[in-house]
Amino acid sequence: MQGRLRRLLRAPPPRNLLCRVLSSSPTGCDGGGGGGGSGVAVKQVTRGNLAEALEELRVRVREAAFVGLDLEMSGVTSAPWRDTFELDRADVRYLKLRDSAERFAALQLGVCPFRWDPAKSAFVAHPHNFFIFPRKELTSDGSSHEFLCQTTSIDFLAKYQFDFNTCFCEGISYLSRAQEEEALQKLNLLHQGRTAASSTTSEKDVDMPLNSAADILFTKRMKMNFKEWRDVVVSKPMADSNLSGNIKCTLGQFQTVFFKMRPAIMLNGFSSHQLKLIQQVLRKNFRDLVYVCTFGEDDTSEKRVVYSDTDEDKILLMKDVQEDLLKNREARVKSAIGIRHVIDLLSLEKKLIVGHSCFLDIAQLYSKFVGPLPSSIKEFALSIHKIFPHIADTRHLMSANQVVQKLMMKKSKSLSSAFSLLCPLSAEKPSGLVPVRIEVEGDETMSSCFISGAKHEAGYDAYMTGCVFAQLCTYLDIKFEQLSSQDNLASNTKLQRHINSLSPSWNSGTVLDLSTGMERPDPGYMRRYPLAVHDNIVLIWGFLSKVKPKEIKDCICKVFGPGSVTSIFAIDSTAALVQFKKQESVNDFLDLKAVLERTDSAISIVHPLSTILEGGQTRAAKYETYRDICSSSESKYLFADQAEAVCTNSKNQLQENINDDPVSGVRQSILDGVGLTSVNKGDGTKSGSKNQDDADVTCQDILAILHDSRALSGRRV
Amino acid sequence: MAAPRAAAAAASAKQVTRQNFAEAVRELRAHLQACDYVAVAVQKTGAPTGWRRALPVDTAETAYLKAKHAAESFQPLQIAVCPFRLRNSSTSTLVAYPYNFHLFPRDELQLGMPTYSFSCQSSYLSTMANDGFDFNICIYDGISYLSRVQESLARKKIFNPCLRQLLPSSNTSVADSVFMSRIKSRIVHWRKGYADPSKKYDDCLVGSLSRLILGGELYGSRPSMSIDVCSDRQVQLVLEAVNHISDDLVSLIVPDKAGAARAVRVIFTSSKEDKNLLLMDIQKLEDEQNFKFRGFREVIDLLSFSQKPIISYNCLNDLTMMHTKFIAPLPPNMHEFMCSLKMVFSNVVDISHMWRQIGPLRKAKNIQAALSYLQKQYFVPMEIELPQQDGTSSVIKNEQNVLRITKLFAKLSYLLKIGPECQLQSGEQFTAVEEYCNIFYPSCMVEESDGVDFAIESDTKKSVSTDNIVFLWGFREKSVNELKSYLIGLHQAFSHDFEVKLLDMTCSALIFRNSDTAMQLLKEISSEDPSLNSFFSEGLKGAGFEVYRKVCRLGLWDSDLAKAFDDVSSELGASTLSECRNSQIYWNSSLMLDLKEYLEC
């Protein structure tokens, strides 16, 4: 009660709503291309108007030539080191993207169908903005429904007046396909179990001891009341009960109602403990009174005591109730699908989906509305291809055309910059090409759910993406004039070459072909780093924070020779990837590091690598370990912490420990080879420290020894 | 008795955002001084669910690890602080000044602090939304903060020009005096250009030319000049020189990227008033900067400094959160946490520990239940004053919580005769509030329902050794009763007396009366005794408390408990299973952590 009151008292329209309405200066929405950020009516869809919006959208999508899509998320990377880097291997990059898609929530979905109107020779756009919130709709659903927010992303959304209140209050929730299937399966199992149980005897025969006077008195009173009521019902069988279903007669304490054409009492206002006592009374004393619990419309449970005269009738009644329950639950599962209907609808219509830099968006959609993301990028590509057979990425398209490339040169490739460049107000014309006319159609009724679009609102971004796409098509020499009103642009031959090619990330330098799942290099991409050879890479972490990447490179070069390191890349302040020129250097480095750590002698102190090893927390491993660390569900802010957490948790030990044998061999031979006469050969550390003064070894020596010992241990095995 | 209720419903705390923060802190400081206690309540973005909650099988240590995990992943969105004064005479008078601070961890300094990301629980957020929580205010205008540790990190990275006190001059060497006189003449020469009224340049070209020649620049609208320095000694000398020249010069130390003084900026002020104005401007700038460095933490520092007892509910969760966000990262174990916390807040009272001192109240599940019970059963005459009304009528959940804590504390302290004064008029002794300090109850249930349902929390407060517990998983969703009857047929150990508690959907704890039975069973499980064939063939698995402790210590919070157990026990192997099992006591049903036990001091 109080809650409802408070809800009513709640702050009236959110501030940003007002802001947006006010800022929608009458620039006119049908000026070819639309204004620079406002004046475009975007339909806002929340829980309240989803059903109606869906019906309308279905029609719009069916007519559309293509559909613009955009997603706003609660974050992008869960830790700085989870950013995608240019030198990431494809599988690592996918792991990073998958982590992002799984951890963060989708908060807004923008869908904007574009219909070609031959009469106006213009596109007609219908931007929709759906608020999403991963509310837990089904109680049976065990997942925790936790999501991550990246502080900067949330702050960014706030800067663009994102309405969090609407999102969290009125956002539409969803079930993915996998979740729906699971819920239905669970339901069926439950139903089977129930019917089986109820046919034998009542479910729980465990007696509750009545240990307080209040309980005993309450039980007695209830027994009397029920008896009284039952006697009345039995004594005057209401022959016309079927007809007078709504007649309520008050008998003593209870109001008689009818439930499935049987006389019944509503049990209102009892505590759960009292209800348990009532059940016990009924079970013990009344064979012909049945306790029935059903669910009303708004999820409130309704408890009744129903009179049923015979055992057969009782079974019939229970079966009836169970089936109702099943239907009710199924309906709830169906309604819990929520916003996924939009995705199902788009998938069903097989229209061309257009996004801007949309790989992450698509991965988010998959993880939220289809199911857990597959383990490899190939599987992901193939299964997304089944759902959306035609996807175009405007960012990729921009690099597909020379003219556009020239136009966009040295400009930001962000959506808004592309939009302002390619879709200017009708007055200007870029590079002589006639821009495609685009109109936005508001609702005839102009209801309150339309507000003027603004940058970084999913609905408006979807619209901008579509506009950019339409203009790009003209550069690709696609003639819309030949398009009939319900044609899917996906079948256009000139476009074929460019669709279903997505860049996994802006700095991947590759393009993923969704139809084959193969990743190929993007010829138009300008690399910042030399091409990575992942077998030559060593991951180092845990060094002191004062050590800079340059110093790491320098001191490795001191040992392995100048030019032995092709590049070094700092993951964050605690970790770096070092790429060697030669692959064998990787093992050499790892072995040398292990040796230096185990021999507690002057060698390790004066050795050039001591800069890196200082502090004793420095660890190193091959690139595979980097992948393992990225695949972990842990999320620590610093890479070194993450790596430690993963390594202590995971069963597979690290590189260092696997190499245990050769290392001990090396240690042995280091001592022998250097010519130290040790009293106690078995105890390497002891003898090493004894002869600190002699430890005048050059790096070349150590390396030579390393190679020898490697051969040696190889022979031993 | 209806009066206070109504008053509380209409009462509203001062809502504080970054707009009115400075003013609110000033008021709070005064109120804190005048008050005896401070009630604190935190509104978070989520609470642990499933087995990540504190469970009846948790020891203090594992409960702490769980609270730590929750504190680190979730984010406080509002912190209500309510200093209050309590006078217990014939009727007690409660004067309370509730404040509700809205928080958002905005990265004010662009250093990736206070937090890169945080977790939200959707069910938690939607309940908050339904209760009228305004997320927009919070996110748009919430106050940011840095913890003490983060501040010191940030101070090492960002340096701002600042004033410095002139130290009493030590003996100066010849070189020093040469340096000083050189600087002095430079400044005097430069100052002449502005101070000498006859040389006032009206022409702006001449003005800028002179600036160019004299090496001056502008500080805001005032002329200034930079003197490069390369040591702290030189800074000192420059300051001394400036001090000798005139009173109308203000010097600011300009630091380089590493924080060492790079230059001294001498600013010329035209009059005494102008100088004051400048100093005020500098002060304001510094305050703004301090706000960025501390933000809301200033309130925590105030609370800490005031040394007033902190009254809170759900203490373990709230204080671990406050510790990790505002003080320092949480230490790995409870003992260190307590030591660290005591340095900040010496007296923390868990209100639920207090109400458990009143026999019949022991069963109360939450504040509302306790309050309504008190309302019904005890007559506590009380006047409540909330002098600080700011007109808005809506009551936000979090401040409601803090007011409830305040009220409940007032009533309990009346009943338990706790008071700041030592003597009642009648000569009765007051107990000191310290008696109740630092004993936390990890709340087993999230405060989900506002219901006043007393219901079934068993009254039996028994201690069981961790040796008596066997964790069991691998059963497919079964209820407690199903599981119990199903187990009895599997092995003779299950014919002994034991209790079953489901910890989550996948794992349950069996609590044996007799620790020998449990130990024996565990031994047989780890040695895969043939008598357990039917147990294993059903896919069941078991482990002792040590494995559970390890699960908590490793922080395998992401998976369900069965999976976490699988991961850890397969790694531990049979060998480590039985070692280092020191028996610890845990509390069934009503957990209590006496933190004093964790402090030898």
Which tens digits make up the pLDDT trace of A168-181?
Answer: 989 998 988 888 88
Instruction: Pick the residue from chain B with its C-alpha nearest to A160.
Output: B140
| B449, part of any domain | no
Query: How many domains are contained in chain A?
Result: 3
| B365, part of any domain | yes
DSSP state of B142: -
Place of tokens 């890169």: B116
**Secondary structure of A453-466 in HEC code, one letter for each residue:** CCCCCHHHHHHHHH
Chain A: closest CA distance from residue B576 (Å): 15
Contact A7/B125, CB-based, under 8 Å?
no
Of A334, A365, A390, the residue that ends a domain is: A334
B46 near A CB under 8 A: yes
Beta bridge partners of B121: A146
Residue B529 or B462, more confident: B529
Please name which of A399, A642, A492, A612 lies closest in space to residue A116, comparing C-alpha atoms. Answer: A492
Among A130-134, A364-368, A531-535, which stretch is predicted with the lowest mean pLDDT? Answer: A531-535
Residues in chain B: 601
Task: List the CATH number of the domain containing B339.
Answer: 3.30.420.10
Residue B226 or A8, more confident: B226
Contact B126/A168, CB-based, under 8 Å?
yes
In the predicted model, is pLDDT for residue A69 greater than 90?
Answer: yes
Among A9-23, A197-211, A335-349, A508-522, which stretch is predicted with the lowest mean pLDDT? Answer: A9-23
Task: List the CATH number of the domain containing A430.
Answer: 3.30.420.10
Please report the pLDDT score of residue B378 as a whole number.
78
* Domain span including residue B557: 463-587
**Are A208 and A278 members of one domain?**
yes
Q: What digits encode the pLDDT tens for the residues B9-35?
A: 445 678 899 889 989 999 999 999 988
Establish how many alpha carbons lie within 13 A of residue A592's alpha carbon, considering only the half-sphere containing its beta carbon: 28
Residue A434 binned pLDDT confidence (cut-offs 50, 70, 90):
low
DSSP string, B372-423: HHHHHH----EEEE-----S-----HHHHHHHHHHHHHHHHHHHTTB-SSSB
- Cβ atoms of residues B99 and B302 within 8 Å: no
The chain-wide mean pLDDT, for chain B, equals 77
For testing contact with chain B, the best of A149, A546, A572 (most B CBs within 10 A):
A149
Cβ atoms within 10 Å, residue B554:
16
Please report the pLDDT score of residue A334 as a whole number.
84
Please report the pLDDT score of residue A309 as a whole number.
78
**Are A358 and A312 members of one domain?**
no
**Are B278 and B302 members of one domain?**
no
In the predicted model, is pLDDT for residue B38 greater than 80?
Answer: yes
Partner-chain residue, chosen from A145, A164, A635, that has the shortest CB–CB distance to B122: A145
**Are B278 and B300 members of one domain?**
no
Query: How many domains are contained in chain B?
Result: 3
Among A455-469, B453-467, B549-563, which stretch is predicted with the lowest mean pLDDT? Answer: B453-467
The chain-wide mean pLDDT, for chain A, equals 76
For testing contact with chain B, the best of A7, A16, A138, A164 (most B CBs within 10 A):
A164
**Are B307 and B429 members of one domain?**
yes
Q: What digits encode the pLDDT tens for the residues B73-113?
A: 999 999 999 999 887 666 678 888 999 999 999 988 888 88
Residue B520 or A114, more confident: A114
CA pair distance B13, A547, nearest whole angstrom: 50
Residue B474 — left, alpha, or beta (φ > 0 → left; ψ -120 to 50 → alpha)?
Answer: left
| A527, part of any domain | no
Q: What digits encode the pLDDT tens for the residues B566-576?
A: 888 766 554 44
**Are B51 and B77 members of one domain?**
yes
Contact A151/B139, CB-based, under 8 Å?
no
Average pLDDT over residues A83-107: 90
**Are A159 and A101 members of one domain?**
yes
Please report the pLDDT score of residue B558 as a whole number.
79
Please report the pLDDT score of residue A30 as a whole number.
35
φ and ψ at B80, to 5 degrees?
A: -95, 130
| A159, part of any domain | yes
φ and ψ at A319, to 5 degrees?
A: -65, -40
* A to B CB pairs, distance under 8 Å: 122
Cβ atoms within 10 Å, residue B362:
16
Of B264, B284, B304, the residue that ends a domain is: B284
Average pLDDT over residues A119-147: 82
Cβ atoms within 10 Å, residue B193:
19
**Are A496 and A573 members of one domain?**
no
**Are A472 and A567 members of one domain?**
no
Please report the pLDDT score of residue A307 as a whole number.
84
In the predicted model, is pLDDT for residue A647 greater than 70?
Answer: yes
- Spatial strand order in the sheet of B498-502: B498-502, B507-512, B469-473, B541-543
Please report the pLDDT score of residue B78 as a whole number.
92
Among A126-130, B248-252, B491-495, B590-594, which stretch is predicted with the lowest mean pLDDT? Answer: B590-594
B139 near A CB under 8 A: yes
| B453, part of any domain | no
Of B380, B407, B440, the residue that ends a domain is: B440
Partner-chain residue, chosen from B46, B107, B140, that has the shortest CB–CB distance to A151: B107
Contacts of B49 in chain A (CB under 8 A): 144, 146
**Are A370 and A395 members of one domain?**
yes
| B256, part of any domain | yes
Contact A145/B112, CB-based, under 8 Å?
no
**Are A146 and A76 members of one domain?**
yes
Q: What digits encode the pLDDT tens for the residues B369-410?
A: 888 888 887 777 777 777 765 555 455 677 778 888 888 888
Q: What digits encode the pLDDT tens for the residues A473-518?
A: 888 888 777 777 666 777 777 788 888 888 888 888 888 888 888 8
Average pLDDT over residues B569-589: 45
**Are A61 and A135 members of one domain?**
yes
φ and ψ at B16, to 5 degrees?
A: -115, 125
Contact A133/B119, CB-based, under 8 Å?
no
B556 near A CB under 8 A: yes
**Are A326 and A352 members of one domain?**
no
Beta bridge partners of A250: A255
Partner-chain residue, chosen from B50, B128, B570, that has the shortest CB–CB distance to A144: B50
In the predicted model, is pLDDT for residue B7 greater than 80?
Answer: no
Average pLDDT over residues A641-664: 58
Please report the pLDDT score of residue A449 as a whole number.
66
Average pLDDT over residues B133-149: 91
Stretch (H or E) spanning B101: strand B99-102
Task: Give the percent of chain B with pLDDT over 90.
Answer: 15
Task: List the CATH number of the domain containing A639.
Answer: 3.30.70.330
Among A37-41, A143-147, A442-446, B122-126, which stretch is predicted with the lowest mean pLDDT? Answer: A442-446
Residue B131 binned pLDDT confidence (cut-offs 50, 70, 90):
confident
* Domain span including residue A477: 2-175+338-521
Whether omega for the bond prior to residue B105 falls within 30 degrees of 0, making it cis, is no
- Cβ atoms of residues B140 and B94 within 8 Å: no
Contacts of B116 in chain A (CB under 8 A): 78-80, 150-151, 637
Contacts of A635 in chain B (CB under 8 A): 117
Task: Give the percent of chain B with pLDDT over 70.
Answer: 80
Average pLDDT over residues B186-204: 67
Determine the residue type at A112. Answer: C
Of A521, A544, A564, the residue that ends a domain is: A521
Task: List the CATH number of the domain containing B569.
Answer: 3.30.70
Residue A32 binned pLDDT confidence (cut-offs 50, 70, 90):
very low
DSSP string, B532-559: GHHHHHTT-EEE-HHHHHHHHHHT-TTS
B134 near A CB under 8 A: yes
A150 near B CB under 8 A: yes
Residue B141 binned pLDDT confidence (cut-offs 50, 70, 90):
very high
B456 near A CB under 8 A: yes
Extended strands (E) in A155-266: 249-251, 254-259, 262-266
Q: What digits encode the pLDDT tens for the residues A558-580?
A: 888 888 888 888 888 889 999 98
| B291, part of any domain | no
B123 near A CB under 8 A: yes
Extended strands (E) in B184-248: 216-219, 222-228
CA pair distance A84, A98, nearest whole angstrom: 11
| Token pair for B88 | 């217990």
| B445, part of any domain | no
Please name which of B40, B39, B36, B41 lies closest in space to residue B92, comparing C-alpha atoms. Answer: B36
Please report the pLDDT score of residue A253 as a whole number.
56
Determine the residue type at B62. Answer: T
**Are A376 and A454 members of one domain?**
yes
Please report the pLDDT score of residue A687 as a whole number.
37
Please name which of A305, A303, A301, A348 lies closest in space to residue A328, comparing C-alpha atoms. Answer: A301
CA distances from B150 to A37, A516, A557 (A): 39, 49, 36
Q: Chain B 64-93, CB below 8 Å of chain A: which residues?
A: 75
In the predicted model, is pLDDT for residue A670 greater than 80?
Answer: no
Partner-chain residue, chosen from A80, A146, A635, that has the shortest CB–CB distance to B46: A146
Please report the pLDDT score of residue A207 as a whole number.
66
Average pLDDT over residues A25-50: 60
In the predicted model, is pLDDT for residue B55 greater than 70?
Answer: yes
Please report the pLDDT score of residue B543 as a whole number.
86
**Are B470 and B400 members of one domain?**
no
Residue A447 binned pLDDT confidence (cut-offs 50, 70, 90):
low
Contacts of A158 in chain B (CB under 8 A): 136, 139-140
A5 near B CB under 8 A: no
Of B250, B284, B318, the residue that ends a domain is: B284
Of A334, A361, A380, the residue that ends a domain is: A334
Contact B456/A14, CB-based, under 8 Å?
no
| A388, part of any domain | yes
**Are A511 and A540 members of one domain?**
no
Average pLDDT over residues A532-539: 88
Chain A: closest CA distance from residue B233 (Å): 27
Q: Which range scores top for mean pLDDT: A268-272, A338-342, A400-404, A611-615?
A: A338-342
CA distances from A513 to A352, A393, A489, A574, B547 (A): 15, 12, 19, 35, 47
| B448, part of any domain | no
**Are B76 and B140 members of one domain?**
yes
Please report the pLDDT score of residue A485 as a whole number.
62
In the predicted model, is pLDDT for residue B421 greater than 70?
Answer: no
Residue B283 binned pLDDT confidence (cut-offs 50, 70, 90):
confident
In the predicted model, is pLDDT for residue A260 greater than 60?
Answer: yes
| Token pair for A651 | 């069963």
Please report the pLDDT score of residue A232 as a whole number.
80
Q: Chain A 344-373, CB below 8 Å of chain B: which residues?
A: none
| A181, part of any domain | no
Please report the pLDDT score of residue A314 as a whole number.
82
**Are A559 and A502 members of one domain?**
no
Residue A28 or A624, more confident: A624
A78 near B CB under 8 A: yes
| Token pair for B403 | 């007011």
| A676, part of any domain | yes
In the predicted model, is pLDDT for residue A243 greater than 70?
Answer: no
